[in-house]
A and B are shown apart, each in its own frame.
Chain A
Amino acid sequence: KNQVEQSPQSLIILEGKNCTLQCNYTVSPFSNLRWYKQDTGRGPVSLTIMTFSENTKSNGRYTATLDADTKQSSLHITASQLSDSASYICVVSVKRAGANNLFFGTGTRLTVIP
């Protein structure tokens, strides 16, 4: 069964600290893995897209890693800012014909406090 699991469910950190969010998936056949940031009441915004051959990808203070063998990904946030408070959603694409090929995780709710 194609599933995407994220942990932790929620996280509170102090401003300036680093944190790492985890994503495990059982999606097959794998196409790519995406991390989205979703501010409360807003639409998801893409942070990174990683294909099978990419182990790490950075976007500013966000660094995503992918281990396709263990089917795990992480999103590392460096020097957190108050504006990083949001839900971070891991989305895995499967290689198949058609449009409904994205599997969404439930997200990690990050709160950055001063």
Chain B
Amino acid sequence: EPEVTQTPSHQVTQMGQEVILRCVPISNHLYFYWYRQILGQKVEFLVSFYNNEISEKSEIFDDQFSVERPDGSNFTLKIRSTKLEDSAMYFCASSGVQGAAGELFFGEGSRLTVL
């Protein structure tokens, strides 16, 4: 069964360092997303990506964040200068259909710990 894969599963970094989280969405999907979940809290939308550009982003997704699809398979989330409050699980998701009708498939997540 096709799945969304994410790397690394866990990353520990010092405050102020850059972090890149990687995702390989399901191959025939066109819509890609990043979500985050701070420990004990609900899943929050960060950004959606379609046709090689950001289609929507939340207030959380400030200038410290960026996304890229450097090749035909990878989808990355970069945090330029990490802060303590960036510590969270980051989930990549993909769907074949945009919006409310589309079933979302999540990856296993990347746990980011900022010290």
* Interface residues in chain A, defined as those with a beta carbon under 8 Å from any beta carbon in chain B: 31-32, 36, 41-46, 49, 89, 93-102, 104-107
How many contacts A-B (CB < 8 Å)? 65
Residues of B within 8 A of A95 (CB): 100
Minimum CB distance partner of A46 in chain B: B103
Residues of A within 8 A of B91 (CB): 43-44
Question: How far does the Cβ of A93 sit from chain B's closest Cβ, in whole Å?
Answer: 4
**Which among A98, A99, A100 has the greatest number of chain B C-beta atoms within 10 A?**
A99
Q: How far is the CA of A41 from the CA of B6 in the complex (A)?
A: 13
9 of the cross-chain contacts (CB-CB < 8 Å) are A43-B106, A43-B109, A44-B106, A93-B101, A98-B99, A100-B45, A100-B48, A101-B100, A102-B104
Provide the B55-79 mask, 1 if CB < 8 A to any CB of A, else 0: 1101000000000000000000000
Docked-complex contact B56 and A98, CB < 8 angstroms = yes
Minimum CB distance partner of A97 in chain B: B99
Docked-complex contact A99 and B56, CB < 8 angstroms = yes
* Interface residues in chain B, defined as those with a beta carbon under 8 Å from any beta carbon in chain A: 4, 6, 31, 33, 41-45, 48, 50, 55-56, 58, 89, 91, 93, 98-101, 103-109, 111
Question: How far does the Cβ of B97 sit from chain A's closest Cβ, in whole Å?
Answer: 11
Residues of A within 8 A of B104 (CB): 46, 102
B43 interface neighbour in A32, A41, A44, A97, Cβ under 8 Å: A44
Docked-complex contact B109 and A107, CB < 8 angstroms = no
Docked-complex contact B100 and A31, CB < 8 angstroms = yes
Question: How far does the Cβ of A25 sit from chain B's closest Cβ, in whole Å?
Answer: 13
Q: A89-B43, A106-B41, A107-B42 are in contact. Are A101 and B107 (CB under 8 A)?
A: no
Residues of A within 8 A of B103 (CB): 46, 49
Residues of B within 8 A of A94 (CB): 100
Q: How far is the CA of A84 from the CA of B105 in the complex (A)?
A: 20
B99 interface neighbour in A89, A101, A104, A107, Cβ under 8 Å: A101
Residues of B within 8 A of A99 (CB): 31, 33, 45, 48, 50, 55-56, 98-99
Task: Please name 17 further chain A to chain B contacts, defined as beta carbons within 8 Å, in addition to the given A101-B100, A105-B42, A107-B42, sorted by A numbering.
Answer: A31-B101, A32-B100, A32-B101, A43-B107, A44-B43, A45-B106, A89-B42, A95-B100, A96-B99, A96-B100, A98-B99, A99-B33, A99-B50, A104-B42, A104-B43, A104-B44, A106-B42
